[in-house]
Amino acid sequence: MTDTDTDTPPVEGTKTHPYVATIVMDPARWHVFEQTFEDRPEVKIRKLDHRTADAWTVYVACASQEVRDLLEDNW
């Protein structure tokens, strides 16, 4: 499900999920985020960049711009 290869550039959207949310979070919140969104049809967790110990970056493909904006504004 989640690509943790940190040498690849940020992901692009998919045909069904063309908008990509970029979310920077405290690693302590990762488990809650993953469980909240892993089975949601409007989002697809595409990449987790955990090169920085204090802030992880999650790239999430979203089905709409509204979903992307909600994720970026609230996480």
Q: State pLDDT tens for residues 13-72.
A: 899 999 999 999 999 999 999 999 989 999 999 999 999 989 999 999 999 999 999 999
Expressed as residue numbers, the domain containing 48 is 19-74
The HSE-up count of residue 64 (CA atoms within 13 Å, CB side) is 5
Q: Is residue 9 part of a domain?
A: no
Question: Can you give the pTM of this predicted structure?
Answer: 0.81
- Rounded CA separation 38/8 (Å): 21
Residue 55 forms part of a structural domain: yes
**Residue 1 forms part of a structural domain:** no
Is residue 32 assigned to a domain? yes
Q: Is a pLDDT exceeding 70 seen at residue 9?
A: no
Is residue 8 assigned to a domain? no
d(CA 4, CA 71): 20
User: How many domains are contained in the chain?
Assistant: 1
Q: Look at residue 44 and tell me if it is in a domain.
A: yes
The answer to whether position 12 is within a domain reads no
Residue 58 forms part of a structural domain? yes
